[in-house]
Amino acid sequence: MAVKKAAAVARTPPENRTIIDKLWDAHAITTREDGTSLLWIDRHLLHEGSFHAFDQLAKRGAGVAHPELTFGIADHYAPTRGRDGSVANPEIARMLDQLSANTARHGLRLIGLRDPRQGIVHVAIPEQGLTLPGLTVVCGDSHTSTHGAFGAFAFGIGASEVAHVLMTQTLWQKRPHRMRIVVDGPLGPGITAKDVALTIIARIGADGAQGCAIEYAGSAVRALSMEGRMTLCNLSIESGGRLGLVAPDETTFAWLRGRPFAPQGAAFDAAAEDWRELASDPDAAFDREASFSGVEIAPTVTWGVSPEHAAPIDATVPDPARIADEGRAQAVRDALAYMDLRAGMRLDEIRIDRVFIGSCTNSRIEDLRAAAAVLAGRKAAAPGLVSPGSSAVKRQAEEEGLDRIFREAGLEWVESGCSMCVGMNGDIVPAGERCASTTNRNFKGRQGPGSRTHLMSPAMVAAAAVTGRLTDARALLAGREVVG
Amino acid sequence: MKPFDSLETPAIPLALANVDTDQLIPARFMKRPRSEGYGPFLLHDMREGPEGPVANPLDDPRRAGAAVLVARRNFGCGSSREAAVYALADFGVRCVIAPSFGDIFASNAVKNGLLPARVSEEDAEALLGSAWVEDGRALRVDLAAQTVTAGNLVVAFAIDPVWKTQLLNGWDDIDLTLAERPAIARFRERDAAARPWAGLAPGD
């Protein structure tokens, strides 16, 4: 009967499927006439903000269906200083205690604040080998798309869906449209995945991929490290995408091999055989396509209050008087007023008050190396915070001496967590201040009430720190080597 | 979940694009339990400045009791925080009309009985610019007919048919899923053979 039901479902012919179709078909338990499928969820990740879902469980008196597939991790409210003692802020201590109590009550594994594996969920969970190609991964966090870097079908969900996954290990989902974004050709020196992502968002818009699952393809994407792929997939949600992914390949397998929760030895090799089959078939059709030329991508920064407000560093702030569409012109006027910028001014004239290097977007070892390459032997003209993405990244950076470079430049080197990207732990940008930030959202008040955010790559943030204004990092990287 | 049929209330015109969920509820208010009510924090930083309350469309006395909000494209983009929907619902909003919505926001909305009604850009502008809405007169939202009526202006809206059925009936996903338990068990059996690398052993 199960077979009959599955056969009745309209599917793309098996030889012409995209990676998105293959992942979907492998997880569809049943499909209703209206096209909604019940999907099996392989990995479920929780953080302190997940308490609403546990409250829903308590209301129903329900339990967790598959406790072995859910992991809790302390990141959103994690203090970045003074972790050895007790947490000073009682409200934040309560958020952390709540996560411990909820995970303990339901027998879920927890990577707590003082666990050596602690870190931002989208950095630390992949490090443990918990994210694998071919899995569905969900978390009550929109940047769950990060895990797509491994060829996983990974997306953010709300609290009601978190409760649903806890109770059933499944989710009802509408099949997303399939979008392919191709970036071909080499990237120029000093150009990173962050520049690629911001360039994509600026062109297609903050809702350009709404309703879509994105496959990133092309030679520039293939050439990215896993860290770069994670940055690219992370920002899928900022173009409205439901998720973003990259087909797994030898880069993926080399990164995963030997990680604690990944299959080991011969089992890994057998799994990799299956994973190679996930790549989109050569004739597979996508619902939408967009393509970019790698060599044309410049260091990119945001000037406004949406990630789509992004432009190359040598451009100028747009002039609303020159925008014909009144709605768009008004949005630009509103953004410039909030950001306190003048229409037509050069982006590299914008002075900054503060820098932040961290977040699930750009806090991995490669990001810290790129920032350190700019900062080595130089002083920062503005104060700032460097928060590595995980405790493991922090240890590695310290082994490489990167922490010393940041400290000697005058920046603060702190513990790992979501920190100043979202300000929940108290790390905020004071009202009216302007921050050059490696994070993912320049929304009004995102980094604190009245804060002004400019998004850019780690090297670009480091360059802004050195000069005190938005700056093309390539000028400061000349003759310096970035260790990949 | 309370079924959604129709509404007849004033509407709040919010002539902004890309209203993200960080604006709908700033992160610093999300530590509270839902039972305390999230309504006071809806669009908090737009309503409260450093020197006290700021004039804004939400607190306009002409629209007291408004249960509809009209906005520009990409409403509810950004963070997956369901608290954004809690803030709207606790404030009294049961329907948001906009040309497009963030995917996660729209899904969260439906799960809380809040209707995300998709209209064309032109119709959104017509509603935002209408004296009827501006004056705080009641407009009518009819889910079965998928129309919004503001005086002589009648606008059609789109809603995913699955969500429409769910909203009209006040259905809850969990009940639908629990009925699928046999299908889930059969899936588990064939999946274990197809993807032996996907599972995890229970932890210590």
Q: How many residues does chain A have?
A: 484
> What pLDDT, on a 0 to 100 scale, did the predictor assign at position B51?
86
> What is the gyration radius of the CA atoms in chain A, in angstroms?
22
Residue type, B141: V
**CB of A183 within 8 A of CB of A291?**
yes
Distance CA B56, CA A459 (A): 40
Distance CA A305, CA A442 (A): 5
B82 vs A160, A242, A267: nearest CB = A160
Distance CA B67, CA B83 (A): 17
**pLDDT surpassing 60 at residue A11:** no
**CB of B198 within 8 A of CB of A135?**
yes
- Using a CB-CB cut-off of 8 Å, the residues of chain A touching B98 are none
> What pLDDT, on a 0 to 100 scale, did the predictor assign at position A3?
31
A157 and B174 in contact by Cβ < 8 A? no
- Using a CB-CB cut-off of 8 Å, the residues of chain B touching A60 are 174
> What pLDDT, on a 0 to 100 scale, did the predictor assign at position B110?
96
Exposure letters A469-481 (e unless 16+ CB within 10 A, then b):
bbbbbbebbeeee
> What pLDDT, on a 0 to 100 scale, did the predictor assign at position A13?
60
How far B198 CA sits from the closest chain A CA (Å)? Answer: 7
Instruction: Report angle CA B177, B181, B187 to the nearest 5 degrees.
Output: 105
The confidence band for A5, taking pLDDT boundaries of 50, 70 and 90, is very low
Rounded alpha-carbon distances, angstroms, from residue A431 to A163, B108, B167: 36, 30, 41
B177 vs A164, A263, A306: nearest CB = A164
- Using a CB-CB cut-off of 8 Å, the residues of chain B touching A263 are 197
* Per-domain boundaries in chain B: 6-194
Range list of β-strands (E), A427-468: 434-437, 452-455
> What pLDDT, on a 0 to 100 scale, did the predictor assign at position B42?
98
Q: What is the pLDDT of residues A326-363, one digit of tens each?
A: 888 999 999 999 999 999 999 999 999 999 999 999 99
Question: Left, alpha or beta for A450 (phi > 0: left; psi -120 to 50: alpha)?
Answer: left
B77 and A69 in contact by Cβ < 8 A? no
The confidence band for A7, taking pLDDT boundaries of 50, 70 and 90, is very low
- Using a CB-CB cut-off of 8 Å, the residues of chain A touching B101 are 210
How far B184 CA sits from the closest chain A CA (Å)? Answer: 6
Greater pLDDT, A384 or A11: A384
Q: How many residues does chain B have?
A: 204
Distance CA A211, CA A174 (A): 9
> What pLDDT, on a 0 to 100 scale, did the predictor assign at position A9?
46
Distance CA B25, CA B44 (A): 7
Least confident of A31-35, A114-118, A164-168, B180-184: A31-35
> What pLDDT, on a 0 to 100 scale, did the predictor assign at position A34?
82
Distance CA A392, CA A394 (A): 5
Using 50 as the pLDDT threshold, list the residues of chain B that sit under it.
none
How far A401 CA sits from the closest chain B CA (Å)? Answer: 34
Q: What is the pLDDT of residues A74-108, one digit of tens each?
A: 999 999 998 888 898 999 999 999 999 999 999 99
**pLDDT surpassing 60 at residue A126:** yes
Q: What is the pLDDT of residues A353-379, one digit of tens each?
A: 999 999 999 999 999 999 999 999 999
A156 and B80 in contact by Cβ < 8 A? yes
A271 and B197 in contact by Cβ < 8 A? yes
Structure tokens at A240: 């409205």
Question: Left, alpha or beta for A24 (phi > 0: left; psi -120 to 50: alpha)?
Answer: alpha
Question: Left, alpha or beta for A279 (phi > 0: left; psi -120 to 50: alpha)?
Answer: beta
Rounded alpha-carbon distances, angstroms, from residue B201 to A41, A64, A145, B157: 15, 15, 25, 48
Helix axis angle for A391-399 and A402-409, nearest 10°, is 90
Give percent of chain A with pLDDT exceeding 70: 97
The residues that bridge with A72 in the sheet, in sequence order, are A46, A110
How far A192 CA sits from the closest chain B CA (Å)? Answer: 23
Distance CA A169, CA B186 (A): 14
Backbone φ and ψ for A399, nearest 5 degrees, come out as -60, -35
A52 and B82 in contact by Cβ < 8 A? yes
B200 and A263 in contact by Cβ < 8 A? no
Question: Sign (positive/negative) of CA torsion A187, A188, A191, A194?
Answer: negative
**CB of B152 within 8 A of CB of B140?**
no
CATH domain A39-292 topology: Aconitase; domain 3 (3.30.499)
Distance CA A199, CA A457 (A): 12
Interface mutation vs chain B, best among A446, A447, A453, most B CBs within 10 Å: A446
- Mean pLDDT across chain A: 95
CA A442 from centre of chain: 14
Mean pLDDT of A204-233: 98
The residues, ordered by sequence, that sit 6+ positions from A126 with a Cβ below 8 Å of its Cβ are A146, A147, A149, A150, A226, A230
Nearest CA in chain B to A33: B162
- Closest to A274 in 3D by CA, of A471, A26, A452: A26
> Looking at domain A303-477, what is its CATH homologous superfamily?
Aconitase, domain 3 (3.30.499.10)
Q: What is the pLDDT of residues A396-408, one digit of tens each?
A: 999 999 999 999 9
Least confident of A7-16, A193-202, A315-324: A7-16
Residue type, A20: I
Neighbouring C-beta atoms of residue A291, cutoff 10 Å: 11
Q: What is the pLDDT of residues A61-70, one digit of tens each?
A: 999 999 999 9
> What pLDDT, on a 0 to 100 scale, did the predictor assign at position A430?
98
Distance CA A227, CA A216 (A): 14
Residue type, A394: K
SS3 A101: helix
* Per-domain boundaries in chain A: 39-292, 303-477
Domain B6-194 part of CATH 3.30.70.240: no
